[in-house]
Chains A and B, each alone.
Chain A
Amino acid sequence: MKPTDIAAPDYFHKVVDCQWACPAHTPVPEYIRLIAQGRYSDAYMINWKSNVFPGILGRTCDRPCEPACRRGRVEETPVAICRLKRVAADFKDDITQRLPRPSAKNGKRVAFVGGGPASLTVARDLAPLGYHCTVFDGDPQAGGMMRSQIPKFRLPNSVIDEETGYILGLGVDFKGGHRIESMKSLLAEKYDAIFVGSGAPRGRELDIPGRKEAAANVHIGIDWLSSVSFGHTDKIGKRVIVLGGGNTAMDCCRTARRLGGEEVKVVVRSGFEEMKASPWEKEDALHEDIPILNFLVPTAFVHDNGKLTGITFQKVKAEYDARGRRNLVPSGEPDQTIECDDVLVAVGQENAFPWIEQDCGIEFDKWHMPKVDPKTFVSTNPKVFFGGDAAFGPKNIIWAVAQGHDAALSIHKMLSGEDITERPLPEVHVSSQKMGIHEWSYDNDISNDKRFKVPHRDKVIALKDIRTEVELGYDVKLALGEAERCLNCDVQTVFSTSLCIECDACVDICPMDCITFTANGEEDDLRHRLKAPSLHPDQDLYVSSDLKTGRVMVKDEDVCLHCGLCAERCPTGAWDMQKYLIEMTHAGSACPTKSRSAA
């Protein structure tokens, strides 16, 4: 193998698994260390810069970082990254002084369709640069689906108000209750750029016999949730069936439990394991006495002269074809009818753009989705950008934020007369953490603690009031314990071939047997000659250039604890622990500045 090029920004970025997996590339270990030090406001601001909605995401994020977390490969469970983010939000001081100041307007006007996470991220990035941002939303308040679809017992309004408020406070003009009905007339208003962040607002229908007749008691999940959120709906029948296995279904069933649903069941077509809902959301539903029945395909709504009485299901089983694809085939068992008073249909969401006229210069593909460049987020109309669910279909908030940052950068570049396809590289800081012979500026002592549980409110109380938040969040002590579980993967092991005397001290001390000195070879061959087996070929090998004896140093990055013992036991300083901080380029930060960064 060729010597590893550690100067390439992606190499060490990949080692920070959580940050690499996060669509917005939030510097996770950096903020977790700040939490451990009690510097909650600093931790919050790192999040705020990167993911815009730390308090909201700390309660609702789909956490792509956690399955990626190295700790999950070392022991059973990853660090509770998401809930630590909430800790930063919960315990911070007043941070309003740290927010950007509304700056003098530059005379350029940007319109936003929809006031959800994607639009607000773009507005957050553009407003401080002097753009006049006008956000239109059909709902009276900003937040989009964060406000309308996520139940209040998971995400209180106060958190949404606070974090959308920080953005609107930057001088962003919010036009609530003003739904954009025509792209053509919006274009006619001569904005310099338009950002469409209107989400995926249409719940998918379930067109089976009886749907029309029983319509009064069959509700589309996201519409129903939004109706509950805005107080238009406050009760439901005693027996409720929720159809669908995603996170919306989980929100529906738990909401139903709080509006009078006594026997609430979730019924899914697939197996329990293959459900789209996050494992912790399924757990929360089960905890609230909501059974999840699987391998049942709804075939008809049963009704008595238009009054819904139940649903008939066909029983299926999973079969896998030669290519490993799953097919659900009838199991041959008799159909099952489950009685109910109300049904919530949460079988998916779709995009809908009835308000974009055909002659706006915005082309759509065969799935009726706008043609959007996945890097710049520009549509076929160079002044119109898309982001969030509106661009590529339903995903999570953190994706909307990440896309918002990129779209904001495009808009800024376009309106500065630059080529939007040229994307500036991220800013990278690398600094040694050595403070003494065996002292580091990070805590390298590895905690053996298992993941700490987030305290929940008592179920009896939680189920009584739909606005009572279920999760209480970590207290300071639990937060410290959980923060200590972080392996500081951003503090990198950096190897200098010229200093190495091949004494084996690093090999001997490494608790994870990551390091091997051996003859060079092709990657496959090398992976078979490592001191401990290579379990994850997607994890890089760090290979040195040739050493004095002709061998090379090979480090499998996979389960490195970043404990720094290799560097502590190295007599010549050939190993060093260096903090690698990568900050993604946002609009207006194209030229890296030497700003002071938190330790």
Chain B
Amino acid sequence: MTYIAKPKFHHPGLKKNELGYTHRDYEGKVSTLCAGCGHDSITASIIEACYELSIEPHRVAKISGIGCSSKTPDYFLGNSHGFNTVHGRMPSVLTGANLANRDLIYLGVSGDGDSASIGFGQFAHSIRRGVNMTYIVENNGVYGLTKGQFSATADRGSKSKKGVTNTDNAIDLVAIALQLGATFVARSFSGDKTQLVPLIAAAIRHKGASFIDVISPCIAFNNHAGSTKSFDYVREHNDAVNRLDVLVGRDPIAVDYAPGTVQMVEQHDGSKIALRKIDADYDPHDRLGAQTFLQKHAAKGQIVTGLLYVDPDAEDLHAHLDTVATPLNTLEADTLCPGSAALDKFNASLR
């Protein structure tokens, strides 16, 4: 880790967003992770996405569990709300927070241990319920804090740093998320910010359960030959189906792509995603097709990245439960407790 604080000075020519903030204003404390950790690049991507969307930091709640990945919310959005939960319990705390205050932007930050092992059930249920959130898994395939044992997402046949071969099957969180009904599913790579930043931005703008699996090489324990989550392996086997640009609000839509290569996706809030297709046949609106595509390519040892599935008309948990539009935590006592006359009326309706 670094002992000095990151200097306050910033480049005098930094651009400011609509709120007058530079991207430096979205930083947190200096990272205590190992030098070169992929997680730090994801942190930088979240910072960049929030800056580009001109998000007010106090409108974000960042919630995490335990692990290297779950430490990272300390390193971005230093002026946002945060909750570092018990191991694997980020999804339930996030769900509860979301129910209490639907107006905040929820960032769930987790790792492969936190989400695919101890918190696997929690992960599944939050996705299944369609909680309006951006669920990011910083996936390095090892337990970094306990010195590099295989995690549940480590590929069968991949080798540990000591040369041991993994004999267990891997959990593909993207496949599970698709199966459980997530309405925004993507995979990316910490070493490819041009793909990752717009994915995070689009996920934040998505209303519903957004899930992004980010392959993030563990520089200390999983960046060797034989690993399937190393910088070199991911770069060699990365099969990006598309790239995207997020177009928000008044920004004019710049159509400077070759015709037929761009697909516009309009999200619930009016923001648009311009998808630049790399694989011409890939349809990001076909859940079943996405699942098949994913498994076929996984069998070939390829890592499919990009926006894999999006349902622009998705609904979230609040819509399912038909809750009031006002966040529950701001309802006053007279609304919550309308008096005995109202109770009598209600009881009468049930008789």
Tell me the A residues contacting B by CB distance below 8 Å: 73-75, 438-439, 444-446, 448, 501-505, 507-509, 511-514, 532-533, 535, 548-549, 559, 561, 563, 565, 568-572
Q: Are B40 and A505 in contact (CB under 8 A)?
A: yes
The 9 closest A-B pairs by CB, nearest first: A571-B36, A446-B7, A532-B11, A508-B44, A533-B13, A445-B4, A503-B36, A511-B7, A505-B36
User: Which of A73, A501, A565, A570 touches B231 (beta carbons < 8 Å)?
Assistant: A501
User: Which of B15, B31, B34 touches A571 (beta carbons < 8 Å)?
Assistant: B34
Q: Which of B1-39 contact A (CB under 8 A)?
A: 1-15, 24, 30-31, 34-38
Residues of B within 8 A of A501 (CB): 36, 223, 231-232
Given contacts A504-B191, A512-B11, A535-B12, contact A572 B36 (CB under 8 A): yes
Residues of A within 8 A of B265 (CB): none
In the bound complex, what is the Cα–Cα distance between A448 and B10 (angstroms)?
A: 12
Q: Are B13 and A505 in contact (CB under 8 A)?
A: no
Q: Are B2 and A511 in contact (CB under 8 A)?
A: no
Q: Are B35 and A505 in contact (CB under 8 A)?
A: yes
Q: Are A559 and B40 in contact (CB under 8 A)?
A: no
In the bound complex, what is the Cα–Cα distance between A359 and B46 (angstroms)?
A: 79
Q: Are A74 and B12 in contact (CB under 8 A)?
A: yes
Q: Are B14 and A503 in contact (CB under 8 A)?
A: no
Instruction: List 13 contacting pairs A-B, 8 Å CB cutoff, sorted by A.
Output: A439-B3, A445-B5, A448-B7, A448-B9, A504-B40, A508-B41, A513-B10, A513-B14, A533-B11, A549-B235, A559-B9, A565-B6, A571-B35
Residues of B within 8 A of A514 (CB): 11
Q: Which of B133-191 contact A (CB under 8 A)?
A: 190-191
Given contacts A444-B4, A445-B4, contact A569 B40 (CB under 8 A): yes
Q: Which residue of B lies closest to A570 (CB)?
A: B35
Given contacts A512-B10, A532-B13, A559-B11, contact A503 B2 (CB under 8 A): no
B43 at the interface (CB under 8 A from A): yes
Q: How far is the CB of B332 from chain A (nearest CB, A)?
A: 44
Q: How far is the CB of B89 from chain A (nearest CB, A)?
A: 28
Q: Which residue of B lies closest to A535 (CB)?
A: B13
B217 at the interface (CB under 8 A from A): yes
Q: Are A512 and B9 in contact (CB under 8 A)?
A: yes
In the bound complex, what is the Cα–Cα distance between A448 and B3 (angstroms)?
A: 17
Q: How far is the CB of A573 from chain B (nearest CB, A)?
A: 9
Given contacts A445-B4, A504-B41, contact A511 B10 (CB under 8 A): yes
In the bound complex, what is the Cα–Cα distance between A349 and B38 (angstroms)?
A: 64
User: Which of B2, B15, B231 touches A438 (beta carbons < 8 Å)?
Assistant: B2
* Further contacts, 11 of them, CB under 8 A, given A445-B5, A504-B190, A569-B40: A74-B12, A501-B36, A503-B36, A503-B191, A504-B40, A504-B44, A509-B40, A511-B7, A561-B9, A570-B36, A572-B36
In the bound complex, what is the Cα–Cα distance between A548 and B191 (angstroms)?
A: 13
Q: How far is the CB of B149 from chain A (nearest CB, A)?
A: 20
In the bound complex, what is the Cα–Cα distance between A74 and B10 (angstroms)?
A: 8
Given contacts A74-B9, A511-B9, contact A505 B37 (CB under 8 A): yes
B314 at the interface (CB under 8 A from A): no
Residues of A within 8 A of B118 (CB): none
In the bound complex, what is the Cα–Cα distance between A501 and B190 (angstroms)?
A: 13
Determine which residue in A73, A445, A512, A572 has the highest number of CB atoms from chain B within 10 A of its CB, and name it.
A512
Residues of A within 8 A of B217 (CB): 503
Does more than half of chain B's interface fall in helix, strand or loop, or is it mixed?
A: loop
User: Which of B1, B11, B43 touches A513 (beta carbons < 8 Å)?
Assistant: B11
User: Which of A445, A504, A548, A565 touches B193 (beta carbons < 8 Å)?
Assistant: A504
Q: Are A505 and B41 in contact (CB under 8 A)?
A: yes
In the bound complex, what is the Cα–Cα distance between A565 and B217 (angstroms)?
A: 20
B60 at the interface (CB under 8 A from A): no
Does more than half of chain A's interface fall in helix, strand or loop, or is it mixed?
A: loop
Q: Which residue of B lies closest to A501 (CB)?
A: B231
Number of interface residues of B (CB under 8 A): 36
Q: Which residue of A lies closest to B2 (CB)?
A: A568
In the bound complex, what is the Cα–Cα distance between A548 and B231 (angstroms)?
A: 11
Given contacts A509-B6, A511-B7, A565-B6, contact A438 B1 (CB under 8 A): yes
Residues of B within 8 A of A563 (CB): 4, 7
User: Which of B9, B13, B35 touches A446 (beta carbons < 8 Å)?
Assistant: B9
Q: Which of B201-244 contact A (CB under 8 A)?
A: 217, 219, 223, 231-232, 235
Q: Are A508 and B235 in contact (CB under 8 A)?
A: no
Q: Are B219 and A571 in contact (CB under 8 A)?
A: yes
Residues of B within 8 A of A549 (CB): 235
Residues of B within 8 A of A533 (CB): 11, 13, 15
In the bound complex, what is the Cα–Cα distance between A570 and B37 (angstroms)?
A: 9
In the bound complex, what is the Cα–Cα distance between A206 and B252 (angstroms)?
A: 65
Determine which residue in A509, A514, A561 has the highest number of CB atoms from chain B within 10 A of its CB, and name it.
A509
In the bound complex, what is the Cα–Cα distance between A533 and B34 (angstroms)?
A: 29
Q: Which residue of B lies closest to A448 (CB)?
A: B8
In the bound complex, what is the Cα–Cα distance between A571 and B35 (angstroms)?
A: 5
Q: How far is the CB of B349 from chain A (nearest CB, A)?
A: 58
Q: Are B35 and A75 in contact (CB under 8 A)?
A: no
Residues of A within 8 A of B24 (CB): 511
Residues of A within 8 A of B43 (CB): 508
In the bound complex, what is the Cα–Cα distance between A284 and B273 (angstroms)?
A: 61
Q: Are B3 and A438 in contact (CB under 8 A)?
A: yes
Residues of A within 8 A of B30 (CB): 509
Q: How far is the CB of A499 from chain B (nearest CB, A)?
A: 11
Q: Which residue of B lies closest to A505 (CB)?
A: B36
Residues of A within 8 A of B13 (CB): 532-533, 535
Chain B positions 58 through 70: 1 when the CB is less than 8 Å from some CB of chain A, otherwise 0:
0000000000000
Q: How far is the CB of A485 from chain B (nearest CB, A)?
A: 11
User: Which of B4, B6, B9, B231 touches A503 (beta carbons < 8 Å)?
Assistant: B231
Q: How far is the CB of A561 from chain B (nearest CB, A)?
A: 6
In the bound complex, what is the Cα–Cα distance between A532 and B190 (angstroms)?
A: 21
Residues of A within 8 A of B219 (CB): 503, 571
User: Which of A509, A559, A565 touches B12 (beta carbons < 8 Å)?
Assistant: A559
Residues of B within 8 A of A569 (CB): 2, 31, 35-36, 40
Q: Which residue of B lies closest to A531 (CB)?
A: B11
Q: Which residue of B lies closest to A569 (CB)?
A: B35
Q: Are B12 and A73 in contact (CB under 8 A)?
A: yes
In the bound complex, what is the Cα–Cα distance between A561 and B6 (angstroms)?
A: 11
Residues of B within 8 A of A508 (CB): 40-41, 43-44
Q: How far is the CB of A562 from chain B (nearest CB, A)?
A: 10
Determine which residue in B2, B15, B31, B193 has the highest number of CB atoms from chain A within 10 A of its CB, and name it.
B2
Q: Which residue of A lies closest to B235 (CB)?
A: A549
Q: Which residue of A lies closest to B192 (CB)?
A: A504
Residues of A within 8 A of B3 (CB): 438-439
Residues of A within 8 A of B31 (CB): 509, 569
Residues of A within 8 A of B11 (CB): 512-514, 532-533, 559
Determine which residue in B12, B15, B37, B191 has the highest number of CB atoms from chain A within 10 A of its CB, and name it.
B12
Residues of B within 8 A of A446 (CB): 4, 7-9
Q: How far is the CB of B68 from chain A (nearest CB, A)?
A: 14
Residues of A within 8 A of B231 (CB): 501-503
Q: How far is the CB of B26 from chain A (nearest CB, A)?
A: 13
Q: How far is the CB of B247 from chain A (nearest CB, A)?
A: 21
